[in-house]
Each structure stands twice: as C-alpha cells, then as structure tokens.
Structure 1
Amino acid sequence: MIADKNILPNKQFIKGDDFMNRRFWKQFAIALALFLAGYFTFNSKAFSQTVEKPKVSIAVGGKNLFYYLPLTIAEQLGYFKEEGLQVEISDFAGGAKALQALVGGSADVVSGAYEHTINMQAKGQPITAFVLQGRAPQIVLGVSNKTMPNYKSVADLKGKKIGVTAPGSSTNMMANFVLAKAGLKPSDVSFIGVGASAGALSALRSGQIDAISNLDPVITMLQQKNEIKVVADTRTLKDTNEVFGGPMPAATLYASEAFLKKNPNTAQALTNAMVRALKWIQKAGPSDIIKVVPESYLLGDRALYIEAFMKVREAMSPDGMFPEAGPRTALKALQAFEPDLAGKSIDLSKTFTNEMVKKANAKYH
C-alpha cells in the first residue's frame, strides 16, 4: 500500500509536468506567431512605403541620345529593379511628345528637358524636375553644306527649313534662342520634326531640311563627313555659357506635383537609381558604355559613338544636383523668344527640387 501511495503522487507529478510542457510550447508558439506576424507586417509596410507605385511608366523623346544616357544606364544595369521598381520606358520622337504623354496620363514621369517645367507652370499645369541628368544641353545647331554652301550668319536662316527632334522640344527651343539672338522670330523659319536617329540623318542628306538642331551621336556623324557647319554648340560647359550666358540645366526626370506628393518614396527610388547611374558614368570608360547600351544606339559605328561620347562626357551631371543659377538662365532663354512667357510670374523654386538628390547622394556617395 505504501508503495502504491508513493507511486500515485509520482504519476500525478509526471502528468502535471507533461501538462506544463505542453502549455509552455503552446504559449511559445503563439508568441512566435504574433512576433512573426508583426515582423512581416512591419516589413511589408516599410516595403510599401518605398514603392507606393511599383510599376512606373517613363516617357522619353529620343532614348538613344547621349542626352538621356543616364536613363539607359540605370535601366540596363538594373538600378531601377534594385530600388524595387518595375520601370517601363516609352520612346517618342522628341521631348514635346513625351510631355504630351505625361499630360495625357499615359506616363507617370518624363525624362526630358528642364525648360518644360517653366512652360507648363506658365500654362497652369505645374510639373517639377527632381533629378538632373545633364548640366549642359548637348544640342548643336548646324547648317547643311549641301543646301546652304554659302552660309555666312544666322540671318541666312530666314525662310529656311530647320529639322528638330520634334516641334516644341528642347532642340526646337535651343534653335529659337539662337535665332532670337540674331533678331529672328520662330515664325521666320519652318521647323520640321525629324526624330533623333536615322530619320534625322536622311532628312539632312536628302535636302529636306537646310539646318538641323539635334544631339549626339547624330551631330558627330554629320560632322565626321563634313555635312554640316556648326552654328551653335552646347556640348561643353564653356560653349553652353557662351550660348546661354550661364549654366543651363538639360535633361531631367520630371513629374506632376500631384504624382510627387502621392508617391514620394517612389520618386526617391527613381532618384536613387539615376544618381547611381550618373556616378557610374563618371567612372566608366568608353568601352564600358558600349558594353551597356543597346547595339542599335551605336548607329553602326562604334568608333564614332566613342568619339561622340568623349565630346559630351563633361555635359553629364556628376551628382544630379540642379545648379543654383541654372533655372534663371533657362527662364531668361525662354523669355527671349516666347512673348507670352515674358509677362508671366514664374516661381522657379517650384520647377525643381534638390531634396531627393541630396538623399540619394548620401546613400550612394
């Protein structure tokens, strides 16, 4: 009996110990589940904050141009993907067409000329540039040696046909400014959209246009075969200062105020990718560039592409920052040939921001 009494408490103890073990593991499992649920909820929130809009559509006018090389580099090297973005890039004949895509709602962001931000503010449709790709326009105005062999001055362009990437684009604006400095109005010539690649070359070579306002590699190709005489060149900082009288912002990423307010972290992710691309370009050699860009960009001549890149390398922004005097230079240039703009009050501080670029440079220094 004593032995049985001793056994009973022992059995009770074993059962109690087993119960306590089960209870412990059950509570532990619940705690772990709650922890993991909280962890993943927190991280999903952090991720969603970074990419409010994971799929972003970018419109560009002439993607093959060096003017937009940082965009291509960011895309080809996977920088957008690493920032959690799936970017779709639509290529148009010129910057004005890319702007239309933004206004029409088929694009979220434009890789395009800074000047559009000023023009759109004047029209009551505010857009803001948030990362600078080029610190010089890289646009060249040249006259055809075929149709204008006796060219002497800009005044000779009166009544002539000038090929631009697309009417209303930055190539059109640059030509307008050069004409204005010579006392000519935009209406004194005819502007024809010829695109930014093979179409531009054939338009000049066939005599359809008398002059061309375009960018590299197109311009270097025409120069190499002595097909044009350069009238104005903005491929270097020095030449840009001579043409515009100060620093002139060129290609940017810009978007509507509404998009930037609604998707601040998405815009930051885009900026991060672009700043990384700009810094990569600063360190890259010509052979590195050729390995990254699509074969079609070379227009069948690798050596010429390298030559053209060396001419415009200085024009690439090293850090994506807008120069303090740049917006004022752009406004002054536009007012020279756009009478409607002369009377408008433009708040330049709303046409651009360096805030996102500063954060990107802190991340990728």
Structure 2
Amino acid sequence: MKKSLKISFSSLLIFILMFTIAACNNTDKTDPEKIEKVRLVEVTRSIFYAPEYVAIAKGFFEEEGLDVELSTAFGGDKTMTTLLSNGADIALVGSETSIYVYAQGSNNPVINFAQLTQTDGTFLVSREKIDNFSWDMLKGSTFLGQRTGGMPQMVGEFVLKKHGIDPHQDLNLIQNIDFANIPSAFASGTGDFVQLFEPQASIFEQEGKGHIIASFGTESGHVPYTTFMAKDSYMKDNKDIVEKFTRAVYKAQQWVDTHSSDEIAEAIKTYFPDTDVKLISTVVDRYKEQGSFATDPILDVEEWNNLQNIMDEAGELPKEVDHSTLVNTKIAEKVKEE
C-alpha cells in the first residue's frame, strides 16, 4: 500500500513539473515584453500578396514573437520613401526599386531578403470577346498600359517585344494615367486593350466590361516581382527579427501551397472587405495555377538576372547590379533547411 502511494505521489510530482514547464513556455511566447514590433509597408493592397496576409491571419508572425503592423503606401516610390525615411522597418515592393536606390549612390542600400511573388501579376484584358487570340491582334490598337518605370509596364513591353510588337511603334500606347485610375479609364471607353491586376480584371469580366485573354506573368517567366526588403543597417542590427520574419513568411508560403483557393480566400477575406469571397477564391486560383506565389523565400540568381534583362529591354536599367550586392539568400536558405 505504501509502495503504491509512493508511486502515485511521484507521478503527481512529475505531472506538476511538466505542467509548470509547459505553462512557463506558453507564458514566454505570449509575454508582451518578449513581442518585437515590426512596421511593414506594402506597395498596394492586392490578392496577389495572399501569403503575406496568411502569415498575419494564421498567426505565423505571432508564433515567431513578432507583432507586425501593416500599412499600405499605394505606389513603389511612396513605399521606398517610407522605408528610407524610417517610416517602416520592412517593405514589400518590386525588386527594381532596390536597384534604383542603389544606382543613386546610397551608402545604406536596400537588401532583398525574402521573395513573395515570382511572376508578373497582370493580365491582358480586351474590350471585345476574342475566342482565338494571338498577340499580333494588338498591332494598330489603342493599348492602355501601366506607368513608365514600374514592373508592370516593363514586363508588358518585354512580352510585347517577345511577340514581335514594338510598343511605341505598333500601338497607340497610353501610359499617362495614374495606376489607380487605369480601370476607370478603360471602363469609360479608353483603349481596346488594357493591362490590369486582379481582382479588377476578373471584376470587369464578371460585369461584361472586358475579357481576360492572356497572362503577362505566364509570358514573362520567373522574376522577383515583389520581395520583402530592408535597409542594410536594419538587416545588420536586427538579424534575429529578420530571420523570424522570414520563417513566418516561409510558413505562410507552404500553407498557401498546400491549401485550396477556397481555404486561402477564407483566410484573407478580412483584408478585402469589399470583394466577394468567391471572387477572391477565383483570383487566388488563377495566381496559383500560373505559379505566381513563390513556395519559398529564396530569390535566386536566374530570377535576378531575368529582372535586369526586362529592365534593360525597357530602357529602365540604370546600371547592372550583381545578385550578391542587393540580395541576401542566407537567411531564406537557413529557414528552408530547418
């Protein structure tokens, strides 16, 4: 009887000890003093960035002890200005912006450390329905393109040239309309064709105002279209935070890769309160189908060189920059290997 009581008492002590350790670990994870704040600015609000919102909504940043404060700058130049002026710690924007900053002689360059999307996110939309589309149908038409110097415009011109079309000779090319006003310009009757992001392209298709006939992302190949980046000084002073941030991004990328478009739409719908969840799912499915969402955060040399080729083709590459100068893959590689 005494032996039985002794065993029971020992078991109870072990149970209490395990419970205490678990409780302490749980407290460490949620202790406000251990949470590190990260100010993240994105170039625009887009379903194209679904893994970013999944990382927040599913608590992947929180699991890493990070409190991510998300803001939207609505423009590549505004995003970079926010980052450079210390209005944000990390930016999600096109990699071309880091090249522009470097070319201006910055002594604190902006470093790309985690890729989010790996294709262009725009689609070619026609005013009239076309059953058997070929790119030469664009010749002689009025084409409503994106602003000069941005990735959508550069990729657009790259794809057109790939199909034997000189954007400035074979088209009536319109590029003087602000990004936010391009959809309304097309809806009001400007242009035979337009280059649009989602969900606007699908919305126009649903409303009968346009028809998606081709994908610039499929045509242009893999590029570091949008990446997470930070100033070199921030990267050096906050190595632990950057690693935790990258780990959370990778978790989100894997979650997106292994879950359905409907599940992803449900996870991110609060970020798009004015968009029907079914439409969000349709857009996510379109991007998943063409491989737009990177499945890991590594920005490789081939993608970087493809980006510079596209910029050079558009006459927008200020200088060629080596991959190792503005890209840090060590963190992403470490996170992926874990």
Deviations 1:126-169 (A, max 9, x none): 221111111222222334449xxxx96444356x643x4x7644
1:206-225 residue pairs with structure 2 within 5 A? 206-207=188-189, 211-225=193-207
Which of the numbers 202, 210, 226 marks the counterpart of 1:228? 210
Query: What is the alpha-carbon root mean square deviation over aligned residues?
Result: 3.2
Corresponding position: 1:191 with 2:176? yes
Pair 1:352-2:327 in alignment: yes
Alpha-carbon shift at residue 311 of structure 1 (Å): 1.0
Looking at structure 2, the residues matched to 101 and 124 of structure 1 have their Cα atoms a distance apart, in angstroms, of 18
Cα distance in 2 for residues equivalent to 1:332 and 1:257: 25
Q: Are 1:143 and 1:230, in contact at CA under 8 Å, matched by a contact in 2?
A: yes
Query: CA–CA distance in 2 between the matches of 1:225 and 1:250?
Result: 29
Output the CA distance in 2 between the equivalents of 1:96 and 1:329. 22
Q: Following superposition of structure 1 onto structure 2, how do residues 90-109 of structure 1 map, counting pairs within 5 Å?
A: 90-109=71-90
1:334 aligns with 2:311: yes
Instruction: Provide the C-alpha distance between the structure 2 equivalents of 1:231 and 1:95, rounded to a whole number of angstroms.
Output: 27
Determine if contact 1:111/1:251 at 8 Å carries over to the other structure. yes
User: Hey, what does 1:117 align to over in structure 2?
Assistant: 98
Q: Distance in 2 between matches of 1:105 and 1:89?
A: 14
Aligned 8 A contact 2:41 2:73 in 1: yes
1:58 aligns with 2:40: yes
* Identity score, percent: 21
Q: Structure 1's 265 and 184: CA in aligned 2 closer, same or farther, altered over 3 A?
A: same
For 1:241-256, what aligned pairs fall within 5 Å after superposition? 243-244=219-220, 246-256=221-231
Aligned partners of 2:55 and 2:316: how far apart in 1?
A: 38
Unaligned runs of 5+ in 2: 1-27, 130-134
Within the candidate set 278, 297, 302, 1:320 is matched to 297
Letter paired with 1:60? E
TM-aligned CA distance change 1:232 to 1:130, over 3 Å: same
Distance in 2 of aligned mates of 1:142 and 1:103 = 35
SS at match of 2:272: helix
- Structure 1 residues 207 and 102, CA gap change in structure 2 (3 angstroms): farther
Are the structure 2 counterparts of residues 294 and 307 from structure 1 closer, same or farther at C-alpha, using a change threshold of 3 Å?
closer
Pick the structure with greater CA Rg.
Answer: 1
Specify the alignment match of 1:67 in structure 2.
Answer: 48
Query: CA 1:362/1:349 → structure 2, altered by over 3 Å: closer, same or farther?
Result: same
> May I ask how many residue pairs the two structures share in their alignment?
295
Matches within 5 A, 1:134-173: 134-145=117-128, 153-156=137-140, 161-162=144-145, 164=146, 168-173=149-154
- CA shift for structure 1 position 268: 0.8
Q: Cα gap change, 1:194/1:154 in structure 2, threshold over 3 Å: closer, same or farther? A: same
Contact kept, 8 Å, 2:155 with 2:216, in 1: the verdict is: no
What SS is found at the alignment partner of 1:58?
strand
Unaligned runs of 5+ in 1: 1-42
